[in-house]
Structure 1
Amino acid sequence: MAKLLIFMTLVSLLPLLSCSFSSENPTDRRILVLLDDFAIKSSHSIFFKSLQTQGFELDFKLADDPKLTLQRYGQYLYDGMILFSPTIERFGGVLDLAAILDFVDSGHDLIVSADASASDLIRDIATECGVEFDEDPAAMVIDHTSYAVSETEGDHTLIASDDFIQSDAILGKKIMEAPVLFQGVGHTLNPANGLVLKVLSASPSAFSANPKSKLSTPPSLTGSAISLVSVVQARNNARILISGSLSLFSNRLLRSGVQKAGSSIRLERSGNEQFVTELSKWVFHERGHLKAVNVRHHKVGETDEPAIYRINDVVEYSVEMYEWSGTSWVPYIADDVQMQFYMMSPYVLKTLSTDQKGHYFSSFKVPDVYGVFQFKVEYNRLGYTSLSLSKQIPVRPFKHNEYERFITTAFPYYGASFSTMAGFFIFTIVYLYNK
């Protein structure tokens, strides 16, 4: 009896034991925020509050915390990371440049913010993402034409920019009504990297230089080539935001009024809050995130997916596409989704029709070529996650007993054969019986 009681007690404790020894499962909405100083948590509280309102759980830590780690038992603890530590020379714990790049390569999202005092470590992270900050460590973006009007004239490093990327997927459908205040360092995009995009650009009159010294040589970065804020969507759909200004996210600029030089209109609120809120939604896949389900193909008139097709079969292809709205999956509606029937090169290219409910479909005739084909959908649209769908299927020729008994196009040959036989018969009769 005592042994039975002990056994039942152990069984009742098994759930507790399994919980106590199981690893901490990372949530899909947990973000690690690395700071130079915990004061940034207060000075940028509005931005952090907007993320928490969206449902994200923020874990604030100092960038040099000796216990920093991104993984536990081989599993990532966070879905995204925010680096608000521009001056950090070396991360704490096991975190380093390679660990951050592996984090992104694993499909996780990243926000990197620099300023005029950005360290080599932050610059190296940006370089690996396709962004080059100005080599001069004291350089800032200066604009004597599009600066923000203030009570003190200043050095025109606080600029008001309204040159936004034209993409509803990235910045939302609501129009940016006010310029964004920016004070920091500019950068350029690596022309060899086709994945990085300018989100906020400087005006044609801007340049990058040290505001505390006179220019002795022409600045290396000038005009609209200067990017203030850029984004990257990797091939694995991980998203990265790179800003040259930490103050862009600060309460001071989010709540500041703005008046652009040359304009008599002063707006009560800058566009910073709307800009960083909408941009953070995109970075953390709250917008512009697509998925494809129920990829199917079959012969017209049938429902089962065959293992092989025959040349000249009429085939129907269909797929369902949905977009994440922030709370649920809704049908994705577009008119530019294309399907390829591919073998070495596309033999068939069809634009898919849609029922406006996320269902895309089309039918086509299998080409008169046999081999191993693929149904392929390569969907890449600005601001949206890329979709790459493929299904392999062999195509065979007609079997010997599948050809028509009499081919219509061969009737002239049939006629020639029978007319030859008839002519030979008549010739024989005439030859034999004619004296």
Structure 2
Amino acid sequence: MRLVLFLSALAISLVAQAASLTGPRILVLLDSLDDGAAYTELWNDLRGRQYNVTLHDVSSPTSLSKHDRRLFDNLIILSPKMKEYPKGMNSKAVVRFVADGGNVLLAGTPELGNTLRELSREFDVEYDSRYTTVLDHFNYDTDLGKEKHDTIVINPATHLAKIGAIVPLEKIPGPILFRGIAHTVNPSNSLLTPVLWASQEAYSWESVNPNESADQNPTVYGKDISLVSVMQARNNARIAFLGSAEMLTDKFFSAPVKKRGDKEAQSGNRKFIEELTKWTFQEKGVLDVAAVQHHKPGEKETPEHYRIKDNMTYTISIAEYHDDNWHPFSADDVQLELIMLDPYIRKTLDQHPLGKKSTTGTFSTTLQLPDQYGVFKFTVNYKRPGLTYVESVTTVGIHPFRHDQYPRFISQAKPYYTSAASMGVGLLIFSFVYLWGGLDSSPKTTKKA
């Protein structure tokens, strides 16, 4: 069996470049190489997408980097029973791997050990207590979960995040089967996004015998149970957290879904995992700024600086990577900010119509610069779940008017102009009346008696 897996991994390693922008090299950690036989369809899917997969058991030494250079581009952890990392690896090495731009997929089971629990806590993800299982006595598979009600059926139409960049709903052919452990995410961490969650009737409990009475209340239940969550770090590295390693197995990929009261349906696990791994390994949802321009209206050249209250046109071109190619990015909420310590202007950009041969989406706006001189940053800071972050900063100087560019008369001074003019007119009238107003200035004589 080990020889077969080794030859399979060797054949995959001979494949050329993968569609991932991160790279084609994947390291898979398993509790035992024999466990890899349960994921044959997963390896075939990755091979079809031109990945080089290295299967490795935790008892053998390995390393994620050498001389500060990554040896692998992506890491899949399917070793929930792992008590300690392979020699040459530790929790800090995995965190450093993510900080260097590597992507990670971590799948747990009810037997998840403290080693991987501590790793998940580094990213604000908390798995439930050991040997706990997600149970649902209303939404379970009547074949795989008949006895324990631990194989639950998830309806993607109601329990899948409406984020097409991660897992588009229209590509999931049927319900999703899940058997595993629950986890929760820190709601204050904006980098974390729950992708799949349990129904309102589900709960997490350490007993998997439905005939036993519960000796305590479940620690997590209902929609608070996250089944699959993802995180995109600030450097755009991606991490996926799954509560079920069985979701990725051949058994769950091909098993028909038989929920009580519903017709038999096709399992959506294979397509769900395919779309999830595409996102995790950066095969889609990747944005890139192709060009940034700014100039005065009617001109094409970028000036060295602007003057206060000038009109300015700003244009940015953004491309999105998916389906092995770059495509024009389309959105209606891309904003431009003019910042000097604080934003002075924030305006939504208008998208240009897409041409037949367009490879980027072009957004622009025309605005009047503020009546404030200094060094400004023209910033587009676009962050949306499922998409890599766009941070484009252009530094531009805005100068005041020169002394001969100010208007000779300004409207704000009209009251002063009026008062000065009225004083002049009043003086002229007074002088005219005083000098020529008909007053008799000759000396008067009085008759003596």
Task: Give the structure-1-normalised TM-score.
Answer: 0.88
Structure 1 pair 114/151, CA: closer, same or farther in 2 (3 Å)?
Answer: closer
- Other-structure match for 2:142: 149
- Other-structure match for 2:164: 168
Contact 2:193-2:385 at 8 Å conserved across structures: no
2: CA distance, partners of 1:289 / 1:173: 19
> Residue 278 of structure 1 is aligned with which of 275, 279, 282?
275
> Residue 284 of structure 2 is aligned with which of 283, 287, 301?
287
Contact 1:295-1:319 at 8 Å conserved across structures: yes
Contact 2:248-2:273 at 8 Å conserved across structures: yes
Instruction: Find the residue that maps to 1:228 and give its secondary structure.
Output: strand
- Other-structure match for 1:389: 392
Query: Is residue 305 of structure 2 the alignment partner of residue 308 of structure 1?
Result: yes
Query: Is residue 117 of structure 2 the alignment partner of residue 123 of structure 1?
Result: yes
Paired residues in the alignment total: 406
Query: Is residue 42 of structure 2 the alignment partner of residue 47 of structure 1?
Result: yes
Q: Aligned AA for 1:216?
A: D
Shift of 1:247: 0.8
Structure 1 pair 391/154, CA: closer, same or farther in 2 (3 Å)?
Answer: same
Q: Which structure's CA Rg is the greater one?
A: 2
Query: Is residue 72 of structure 2 the alignment partner of residue 69 of structure 1?
Result: no
Contact 1:331-1:356 at 8 Å conserved across structures: no
Deviates more, 1:229-238 or 1:391-400: 391-400
Shift of 1:125: 1.3
2: CA distance, partners of 1:151 / 1:31: 31
1: CA distance, partners of 2:145 / 2:203: 21
- Residue by residue over 1:186-233, the C-alpha shift from the partner in whole angstroms, topping out at 9 and shown as x without a partner, is 111123322222211111111111214642111111111111111111
2: CA distance, partners of 1:246 / 1:214: 28
> Residue 183 of structure 1 is aligned with which of 179, 183, 188?
179
* Matched ranges for 1:362-401 at <5 A: 362-401=365-404
Structure 1 pair 253/63, CA: closer, same or farther in 2 (3 Å)?
Answer: same
Query: Is residue 340 of structure 2 the alignment partner of residue 347 of structure 1?
Result: no
Q: Aligned AA for 2:91?
A: L
Instruction: Find the residue that maps to 1:241 and give its secondary structure.
Output: strand
Structure 2 unmatched runs, 5+:
1-20, 355-360, 442-449
- Other-structure match for 2:445: none
Shift of 1:145: 0.6
2: CA distance, partners of 1:152 / 1:309: 69
2: CA distance, partners of 1:73 / 1:206: 47
2: CA distance, partners of 1:271 / 1:173: 10
Contact 2:145-2:152 at 8 Å conserved across structures: no
Shift of 1:392: 2.2
Contact 1:84-1:246 at 8 Å conserved across structures: yes
Contact 1:333-1:356 at 8 Å conserved across structures: no
| Aligned-pair identity (%) | 34
Query: Is residue 265 of structure 2 the alignment partner of residue 262 of structure 1?
Result: no
2: CA distance, partners of 1:63 / 1:329: 38
Deviates more, 1:79-88 or 1:391-400: 391-400
Shift of 1:243: 0.8
Q: Aligned AA for 2:318?
A: M
Q: Aligned AA for 1:110?
A: V
2: CA distance, partners of 1:199 / 1:161: 12
Contact 2:144-2:151 at 8 Å conserved across structures: no
Query: Is residue 77 of structure 2 the alignment partner of residue 83 of structure 1?
Result: yes
- Other-structure match for 2:323: 326
Query: Is residue 134 of structure 2 the alignment partner of residue 134 of structure 1?
Result: no
2: CA distance, partners of 1:367 / 1:310: 9
Query: Is residue 89 of structure 2 the alignment partner of residue 95 of structure 1?
Result: yes
Q: Aligned AA for 2:41?
A: I
- Other-structure match for 2:13: none
Contact 1:64-1:90 at 8 Å conserved across structures: no
Instruction: Find the residue that maps to 1:394 and give its secondary structure.
Output: strand
